[in-house]
Amino acid sequence: MKIEIWSDVMCPFCYIGKKNFEKALENLPFKDEVKVEWKSFQLDPTLEQSETKSTAEYFREKKGFPEEQAKQMTNQVIQMGKSSGIDFNFDKALITNTFTAHKLLHLAKKYSKSSEMEEELFKAHFLDGKNVADIETLVSLAVSLGIDAEEAKNSLESNEFDYEINQDILEARNNGITGVPFFILNGKYGISGAQPAEVLKNALTQTYEETIVPFKDNYSQDNLSCDADGCSI
């Protein structure tokens, strides 16, 4: 059974969704039959590769949110994260263009380490306050997973994976995906947002048994997701 997951490194609900998905999967009897493919999505491709912004700066300059409103929103996400085992640190997080980070994810696919790399990218961005557009930072993440430093650097500085990233984004558009995380199960059924582990578990089980509701009637509940206009809470 194939599960495709569209996400972006700077989307907090994507990190929550990943943790909930893993929790849902861990006790399923057919978990070894599930193949996960991470897909690229960019929430804000207009950001320059060379620029970084704090979360507060980004909300104020790009979204027009006053500091108090931004703080309230991030505090809510922090509490949601704790329930999924994530200690978000928005004071350290650096908002930047994530296209190069997606190159690293596609490189990791070659070595069947995309889920591990997704985790490392989320940690780097949300926990450690690292610049995920910085080549040396990304190379160090590659090395931590056993990927050759020179290969990683060459891939990140070239257009080797540009086509794959753009195809993921185009595929999302063709599927009507405007926010992430977004899960497509077995190429047929969709789940939008960072749904609770129990919802994901039920959807996975029903998909496996081919009795899930149609794609157009997906499992979206509170729609905890991020899109180009921001994150809905």
Whole-angstrom Cα distance, residue 177 to residue 200? 18
pLDDT digit string (tens) for 93-148? 999 999 999 999 999 999 999 999 999 999 999 999 999 999 999 999 999 999 99
Res. 232: pLDDT tops 90: no
Q: Quote the pLDDT of residue 203.
A: 95
Res. 228: pLDDT tops 90: no
Domain count, the chain: 1
Whole-angstrom Cα distance, residue 125 to residue 59? 16
pLDDT digit string (tens) for 152-188? 999 999 999 999 999 999 999 999 999 999 999 999 8
The one-letter code for the residue type at 194 is A
Residue 164, classified by CB atoms within 10 Å of its CB into exposed (0-12), middle (13-18) or buried (19+), is middle
Angle ∠(205,221,15) on CA atoms, nearest 5: 75
Residue 227: its H or E element: strand 226-227
Q: What is the pTM of this model?
A: 0.91
Residue 141: its H or E element: helix 135-144
Question: Residue 127 belongs to what domain range?
Answer: 2-231
Q: Quote the pLDDT of residue 229.
A: 76
Domain of 50: which CATH number?
A: 3.40.30.10
Mean pLDDT of 68-77: 93
Tokens 């063709």 belong to 174
Q: Quote the pLDDT of residue 233.
A: 63
Confidence grade of residue 63 (pLDDT, cut at 50, 70, 90): confident
